[in-house]
Structure 1
Amino acid sequence: MSTALSWPPAVPQNVNITSAQIAEMKLLEIPLYYIPCQSNGETYYKVGIVVNVAVNNGSAQGSQSSCLYEFDTGGPGFWANGSNFKGFQSGSYDTAIQYESGITYFAQSTECQISFYLSGSNNQTPSISINMGLVGESYVTGQESINTPHSKFESNVDDDNNLFPIYNYFQGDFGVSLSSLQKCNVPSQYSGEFTPLLGALSQIIQNNVNGFVIDLANLTELPQNPYLGSIPITLPSETKVGRLILGAVAPLIEYFPQVFKLQNKGQFTPETQSEKQNSYPIYSPQLLCGNAYTAQNDIPNIILTKEITQAAVAVTLDTGTPSILFDQGTNMQISANQFPDNTEIALTVGGEGDDEGTPMPILYLTNPKPGDAPNNINMSTSAGGLGNINTGIYPFTQFPILFMIGTEPNAPGLIAFPAASTTVSG
């Protein structure tokens, strides 16, 4: 269908919070590495974060490792290469995750102390106890369900067949999704009772920490000899540095006036005995919902756009996906000819559970200028549910995004964006 929509729509504009402001508010500024990665001859941008992990229990108890992990807002749970921890014994797993890429991790859930490294120094943040997974085996073909027994595994302790480091840089996946890992039936020969996991940042919303800001829009140059952990790696010279702002971020809300409520989906209690007194709020991985429109950006003064959704669909903001991904469903049936060259996409979205229902337009350029994040179109032909749009990493490169997690049981969370303008940035 076609509809009149002002073009370009009003989109969030970049805002740059200074390091001095962050320090004054007693917030933590942690570097995020925006890295060009190669796969099958293509360049994709991934985000990395250095995390120090000290294992509290299990076969690797007492072991410690600092590594670069992929910073993934679309993935639940924190998954680390078990072979980096002295004493780790593979072969007995109680948790697993399968990504849309087909990669499956089999892991031992364990209690760990984690800390981060502050921007501009090698100083660490105070350590915090979380529940995470130490990965022992990986299944990488993506041709079978996680519920199906299979034999083609890669052991991470076998140097001849090692999945890690991912893209030659990452020793696991630092999941930042505000949802918990759903229970699934791991093949019996690799698992006992299944243990769900929750993202690390969701587990540290305590002790004056109630949220975070992801900023990949105000990138700086890669410093000489940055500390990237205890495993030596060299990042490409084109790597840039963003930041994770962590702490009591409520005073920053004035920079993010477009605020949307996230409906609480319940509470999560870690399985480890010492953590059972703690419970954390969880939210849907699809933080927003709305309709999608396209327009040809080589047609001057266009105001006639095509709506490609029949009704609102879920929207996922995912730093771990390099392109826009359309998962078709009841409210969205699309085809490749809807995305010719020079197509722009606008999502008008409202926060899930938002009492006001205020739409918030976001603009995505599918043919970005050189130096921008790749933002190609991909489609899933397996229809299911109402449909979902995964924005990929692109919006994070255009403006910072603030997340606040409720600190009381069943409290709503917030996602907030900078003020909107019809002046397209970038």
Structure 2
Amino acid sequence: MSDTTPTLIPPLVAPLTPTPLPAPVTGLTDKQVAALGGTIVPLYIYPIPPKQSDLAPFEPSTGKTSDQGHKIGIVVDVTIPSTGATATNVLYEFDTGGKGFWASQGQFTASGTNPVVPASGNAANLGAVITQYSSGITYLGTGVVATVSLPQAVVPDNGPVPTVTTGMAVVETILELSDGQELPGSFPIFGNFSGDFGVSLQQTATVTPPLKHNLPYPFDLQVPSQQPALLSIMAQLGVDSFIVDLVTLTTPAAAPGAGTLPVKAGRLILGPSSAFAPYFPQYQAMTATGTTYTPPQSSASAASAKPIATYEEALLFGSLAVASNQAVGVPVVFDTGAPGVMLHSGEQPPQLSKDGFTPVVGDQLLLNTQLDSGEGTGFESNVQSLLSFTVGEVIGENAASMAGIVGQTQSGFINTGLTTFLAYQIMYDLQNGLIRFPAQGKATT
């Protein structure tokens, strides 16, 4: 779920000539991943339940879908060392468009008479925090220093599961948009999740940005003017790279929070970038923010931690065509928290006006970018289509919509949502600051 709007300067212009999409990687079996030194963490695919009777299995390319698409889940363990509170084997939304990790306080078990959240003035209490998502959800809570791990990770040679001690948010209040108003809500969100495991490589703002949705009294009084910066756990695990694989699917025997809800499981692969880069030969430098993140000084890892590079939410730029309307230099957000493709109109170029770029069924939608495949031998530019389809009504496959107008100082952008991730794997090469894609597929005749 994207919670900010990118305002960036495009480096490249890609011609609007359709190409085959990146071809899904087929050679990375679980056994091969382990041989390459990779760790595998399950990612669970759940339909969004508008009501229980509307649930349908996740089956790409069959047209079977829930009314509102799907969400991705990951199981996480959390311990707050200063209070001893724990939240074990809890399912959170895996959200590449969200910043920081936000976990429901209701999932924590307190230690003795200690509170879950460390008291104000304790170095492990980082202060009040707030975030809002395009879905209409608002979280209010407290930033804390916590130890976060991925308990379902399958690690080569039975090594320790990925773990880091850093800043995250304990959510004390959830508000949800209803008939244009933010009202008190409850967990789980989207039927299954106890918060948002944000994977965006951009840190949260320390000065609270203008709210997307005004809050009613007394919640409006709880909005901090400043707050601690939080960064995704994935960026802090010390891994070279991670791959989001929602193409290689299995049917799990059981999935947390699912009950009888039909799900599939994909993979989050963590490992050395040099080992996995050959499977993702096309790449582009991720758009850097120019700032770095340092874990809270009270965290166990802070003493030895190096500043971590951060990147804009829109990691690259592309050229976009919707029917006969075209725009270049369009910021592109890859967001597993958005069920389908969403366009956002802006006041600054490229505006992506609602009149010209609102997709309707039957329109041709094309998103191209320029990728390198030189691997150190010089820039070898390739035009690559990231999206190319006739607009339909299957969310996550061919549905697209205009989400609304963003701030006056901001440009329009496209959020590819789950549609790209369900079509091919994407690799985040943290060691080299690159976003990587599989090789271009072969043209069909």
TM class by shorter-chain length? 0.7 to 0.9
Q: Say whether the 8 Å CA contact 2:47–2:71 is kept in structure 1.
A: yes
2:373 counterpart of 1:348: no
Residue in structure 2 matched with residue 159 of structure 1 by the alignment = none
SS at match of 1:267: strand
Q: What code does the residue aligned with 2:96 have?
A: T
Q: What code does the residue aligned with 1:107 have?
A: G
CA distance in structure 2 between the partners assigned to 1:367 and 1:107 by the alignment: 39
Distance 1:26 1:136, change over 3 A: same
Distance 1:350 1:95, change over 3 A: farther
Shift of 1:271: 2.8
CA distance in structure 1 between the partners assigned to 2:405 and 2:222 by the alignment: 32
Residue in structure 1 matched with residue 100 of structure 2 by the alignment = 77
Aligned pairs for 1:174-253 (under 5 A) are 174-185=197-208, 189=222, 191=224, 194-204=227-237, 206=238, 209-221=239-251, 223-226=252-255, 228=256, 233-234=258-259, 236-237=261-262, 239-253=263-277
Aligned pairs for 1:266-345 (under 5 A) are 266-274=291-299, 275-277=301-303, 278=305, 279-295=307-323, 306-309=324-327, 311-329=328-346, 330-331=349-350, 332-335=352-355, 339-345=359-365
1:121-145, CA deviations, whole angstroms, 9 ceiling, x for partnerless residues?
999714322321110012223899x
2:89 counterpart of 1:56: no
CA distance in structure 1 between the partners assigned to 2:155 and 2:297 by the alignment: 35
2:12 counterpart of 1:11: no
Shift of 1:112: 1.7
Shift of 1:192: 8.1
Which residue among 386, 392, 413 is the counterpart of 1:362? 386
Q: Say whether the 8 Å CA contact 1:375–1:392 is kept in structure 2.
A: no
Q: Say whether the 8 Å CA contact 1:78–1:173 is kept in structure 2.
A: yes
Q: Say whether the 8 Å CA contact 1:177–1:199 is kept in structure 2.
A: yes
Aligned pairs for 1:46-195 (under 5 A) are 46-57=71-82, 60-85=83-108, 86=110, 87-88=115-116, 94-116=128-150, 117-118=152-153, 125-141=161-177, 154=184, 162-185=185-208, 189=222, 191=224, 194-195=227-228
Q: Percent identity?
A: 28
CA distance in structure 1 between the partners assigned to 2:70 and 2:222 by the alignment: 36
How many pairs does the alignment contain? 381
CA distance in structure 1 between the partners assigned to 2:29 and 2:176 by the alignment: 42
Q: Say whether the 8 Å CA contact 1:45–1:374 is kept in structure 2.
A: no
CA distance in structure 2 between the partners assigned to 1:321 and 1:21 by the alignment: 30
Q: What code does the residue aligned with 2:326 have?
A: I
SS at match of 1:38: coil
CA distance in structure 2 between the partners assigned to 1:241 and 1:318 by the alignment: 18
TM-score (norm 1): 0.79
Q: Say whether the 8 Å CA contact 2:16–2:366 is kept in structure 1.
A: no
Where structure 1 has 5 or more consecutive residues not aligned to the other structure, the ranges are 145-149, 155-161, 296-305, 407-411
Shift of 1:366: 5.2
Shift of 1:393: 0.7
1:156-184, CA deviations, whole angstroms, 9 ceiling, x for partnerless residues?
xxxxxx52101120011000001001123
2:40 counterpart of 1:29: yes
Where structure 2 has 5 or more consecutive residues not aligned to the other structure, the ranges are 1-13, 55-66, 121-126, 210-219
Q: Say whether the 8 Å CA contact 1:289–1:313 is kept in structure 2.
A: yes
1:54-105, CA deviations, whole angstroms, 9 ceiling, x for partnerless residues?
1123xx4343422011000000000000121123259975111111122111
Shift of 1:313: 1.4
SS at match of 1:140: strand
CA distance in structure 1 between the partners assigned to 2:407 and 2:389 by the alignment: 25
SS at match of 1:394: helix
CA-atom RMSD in angstroms: 3.4
1:1-30, CA deviations, whole angstroms, 9 ceiling, x for partnerless residues?
xx99544x2321111211111111121011
Distance 1:276 1:358, change over 3 A: same
Shift of 1:225: 2.9
TM-score (norm 2): 0.76
SS at match of 2:48: strand
Which residue among 400, 414, 417 is the counterpart of 2:437? 417
CA distance in structure 1 between the partners assigned to 2:443 and 2:250 by the alignment: 23
Q: What code does the residue aligned with 1:401 have?
A: I
Shift of 1:191: 4.6
